[in-house]
Amino acid sequence: MRQFPEKLQRRLEARVENNALRSLVVNNEEKVDFFSNDYLGFAKNISLKHITSEILSQEHDVIGATGSRLLSGNGPLYHSVEEQIASLHDQSKALLFNSGYNANVGLFSCVPQRGDIVLYDEYIHASIRDGLQMSLAKSYKFSHNSLGDIKDKVARYKEHHQGEIYVITESVFSMDGDTPDLEALAYFCSENNVYLIVDEAHALGVFGSNGEGLVSKLEIQDKVFAQVVTFGKGLGCHGAAILGSEDLYVYLVNFARSLIYTTAIPLHAVATISAGYQLLQKQSSFFSNQLELLENIKFFKKKLIQLRLEKKFIKSDSAIHCCIVSGNEKVKQVALSIQEEGFQVKPIMSPTVPLGQERLRFCLHSYNTKEQIEKVLKLVAKLID
């Protein structure tokens, strides 16, 4: 075997020196889950498995998609599930992608054109950044959740550029758990002919009467150019969809390379997505899960105040709550101590987050108990005191 390239070796050594080297660790399911994105417990839901099996029994006995959507991988189930997704979110069309990463890379690499301007939140997800790097448009970040900075930049670029302007944000940010003022942003973009794109990865299943996310809850679909929903979080399965107009759907089918040049998402995954959406719309089943999750979020925030931890945590009303513990070494040590007490809580280190903003990331679920929440927060208070 040839020697490993020296430049790559130096990059690994730098990670080791900064105590930031990543590794794959087998998850211990015996510990209390405060780290997965399975907010509603759908990944372990027996009903989801049964509904998925029932859907698959009505389809052809095929394991893989056998080709891209434009070739052999486009059976009737794909279209019926896309209609199901669009209907719940009250959008004209939905287009399935293999993952949230694929959806964002496909969308942002082909939609903004040369001469266009893209304004994106400084904390936007890596998949969106990667898609923008493939675009011919110029991209500029704005201060996190700052509508004022967006307004200033839109006014500046409108004065000097003739192209379109796109604004990109998330309804719930994955590393902070906070949310922008989506309603005000949507109205501003609509009034100023700016195209708004919202990633709803961590809002699906958590917000809205049927778990449809914040865009639908706020009823601003008609002011959003594109909405990205991913199914590996609240829906407990895999895949993603881009929601929008009929024209956007046709455009993506023709120009989104991460859709065109890849084998389609397999039938089993599509059936599981359909089953997940059915569970969301079953009021008795869903509201039980959602209410338990929302009650846990409320209880978690109450305990933060009682334990005088609220200033250590980033303000959040979502299922994601983060405690700032600066320094890779320190946050790793605190996380390890928590894990040794039987709780799965992961450290988020730089460079994933800015230097000095390292944190413990807590994900709340419908199946966490109040006793577990109280115990882990008391442990945090003791360890970071």
Decide: helix, strand or coil at residue 284.
Answer: helix
Helix, coil or strand: residue 46: helix
Residue with token string 């839109």: 154
- Closest C-alpha among 282, 226, 271, 254 to residue 86: 226
For residue 39, what pLDDT is reported? 96
Residue 233 has what pLDDT? 96
**Tokens linked to 66:** 């056998």
Q: What is the pLDDT of residue 20?
A: 84
Q: What's the rounded Cα separation, in Å, for the pair 32 and 116?
A: 47
pTM (2 d.p.): 0.94
At a CB cut-off of 8 Å and minimum separation 6, what does 167 contact?
A: 119, 120, 150, 154, 185, 189, 194, 195, 196, 197
CA 366 vs CA 141, 286, 345: distances in Å: 35, 11, 16
Listed as ranges, residues in the chain with pLDDT below 50 are none
Two structure tokens written together for 364: 């709340």
- Residue-level pLDDT at 210: 86
Residue 285's pLDDT is 58
Pull the structure tokens for residue 8.
Answer: 């790559």
For residue 162 the two structure tokens come to 């003739």
Nearest one of 204, 236, 248 to 95, comparing CA atoms: 248
pLDDT at 340: 94
Dihedrals phi, psi of 225, to nearest 5 degrees: -70, -45
Determine which helix (DSSP H) or strand (DSSP E) holds 10, and give its type and residue range.
helix 6-17
Q: What is the pLDDT of residue 27?
A: 78
Q: Which residues are within 8 A (CB) of 41 and not within 5 positions of it... i.e. 6 or more apart?
A: 236, 289, 365, 366, 367
Buried b (16+ CB within 10 A) or exposed e, 340-363: eeebbbbbbbbeebeeebbbbbbb
Cβ–Cβ under 8 Å, residues 205 and 89: no
